[in-house]
Structure 1
Amino acid sequence: MEVESIFNTSYNNIEVIIVDNASVDQSHKKCKEKFDKIRLIENKQNFGYCEGNNVGIREAKGQFVVILNPDTIVEPNCITELISAYEKYGDGLYQPKIISLYEKNILQSTGNMLHLFGFGFARDKGVPDSLQRNDIEQIGYASGTCLFTSQKVLNKVGLLDSFLFLYHDDLDLGWRAAHLGIKSYYVPFAKIHHAESYSLKWSSKKFYWLERNRKYCILTHYSKDTYKKIRPYLMQIEFMIWLFYFSKGFLGTKIRAELNIRKNKKHILEKYQELESKKIISDSELVKTFPDEIFVPKNVSGSIG
Structure 2
Amino acid sequence: MSQENQPLVSIIIVNYNAGDLLINGIRSILNSNYQNLEIIIVDNVSTDNSHKKCKEEFKDVKLIENKINLGYCDGNNIGIQNANGEYIVIMNPDTIVEPEWLEELFKAHDEFGEGIYQPKILSLNEKGILQSTGNMIHLFGFGFSRDVGIVDKNQRNKIEKIGYAAGTCLFTSANTIKKIGLLDSFIFLYHDDVDFGWRGAQLGISSYFVPKSIIYHVKSYTLQWGAKKFFWLERNRKYCILTHYSKETIAKMKFTLFLTDVLVWLAYISKGFLMAKINAEREIRKNRDIIKKRQKELEDKKIISDLELIKTFPDAISISDNSGGRGSEFFNSMIVKLSKKAKKTLLS
Which TM-score applies when normalising by structure 1? 0.97
- Give distance in 2, aligned partners of 1:300 and 1:176: 26
* SS of equivalent residue, structure 2 residue 276: helix
CA pair 304-297 structure 1, distance change in 2 beyond 3 A? closer
TM-superposition CA deviations, 1:50-75 (whole Å, max 9, x none):
10011111111010000000000011
* SS of equivalent residue, structure 2 residue 248: helix
TM-superposition CA deviations, 1:217-238 (whole Å, max 9, x none):
0000000111111111111111
- Give distance in 1, aligned partners of 2:92 and 2:310: 29
For structure 1, the 5+ residue unaligned runs are: none
Correspondent of 1:218 among 241, 246, 257: 241
TM-superposition CA deviations, 1:15-48 (whole Å, max 9, x none):
0000001111111011110010100000000000
Counterpart residue type for residue 102 of structure 1:
N
Residue equivalent to 2:96:
73
Counterpart residue type for residue 78 of structure 2:
V
Counterpart residue type for residue 287 of structure 2:
N
1:174 aligned onto 2:197? yes
- Give distance in 1, aligned partners of 2:327 and 2:226: 11
Pairwise CA RMSD? 1.4
Which TM-score applies when normalising by structure 2? 0.85
Deviation of residue 295 (structure 1)? 2.2
- Give distance in 1, aligned partners of 2:326 and 2:196: 28
Correspondent of 2:136 among 84, 108, 113: 113
Counterpart residue type for residue 50 of structure 2:
S
Residue equivalent to 1:54:
77
1:15 aligned onto 2:74? no
Residue equivalent to 2:12:
none
1:190 aligned onto 2:175? no
Correspondent of 1:155 among 178, 182, 185: 178
Work out the number of aligned pairs and report it.
305
Deviation of residue 302 (structure 1)? 6.1
* SS of equivalent residue, structure 1 residue 162: coil
Correspondent of 1:255 among 261, 266, 278: 278
Residue equivalent to 1:125:
148
- Give distance in 2, aligned partners of 1:200 and 1:301: 13
* SS of equivalent residue, structure 2 residue 253: helix
Which structure 2 residues correspond to residues 222-301 of structure 1 after superposition, within 5 A?
Answer: 222-297=245-320
Deviation of residue 282 (structure 1)? 0.2
* SS of equivalent residue, structure 2 residue 126: coil
- Give distance in 2, aligned partners of 1:274 and 1:152: 20
TM-superposition CA deviations, 1:57-116 (whole Å, max 9, x none):
111101000000000001100011111111211111000000000111100000001000
* SS of equivalent residue, structure 2 residue 316: coil
Counterpart residue type for residue 62 of structure 1:
G
Residue equivalent to 1:209:
232
* Contact persistence 2:94–2:221 (CA under 8 A): no
| Runs of 4+ that moved beyond 4 A | 297-305
1:146 aligned onto 2:169? yes
CA pair 71-124 structure 1, distance change in 2 beyond 3 A? same
Deviation of residue 304 (structure 1)? 7.7
Deviation of residue 301 (structure 1)? 6.6
Deviation of residue 204 (structure 1)? 1.1
Moved more, 168-177 or 191-200: 191-200
Deviation of residue 132 (structure 1)? 2.7
Counterpart residue type for residue 191 of structure 2:
H
* SS of equivalent residue, structure 1 residue 191: strand
- Give distance in 2, aligned partners of 1:72 and 1:204: 24
* Contact persistence 2:319–2:327 (CA under 8 A): no
* SS of equivalent residue, structure 2 residue 38: coil
* Contact persistence 1:127–1:297 (CA under 8 A): no
- Give distance in 1, aligned partners of 2:208 and 2:222: 29
1:35 aligned onto 2:58? yes
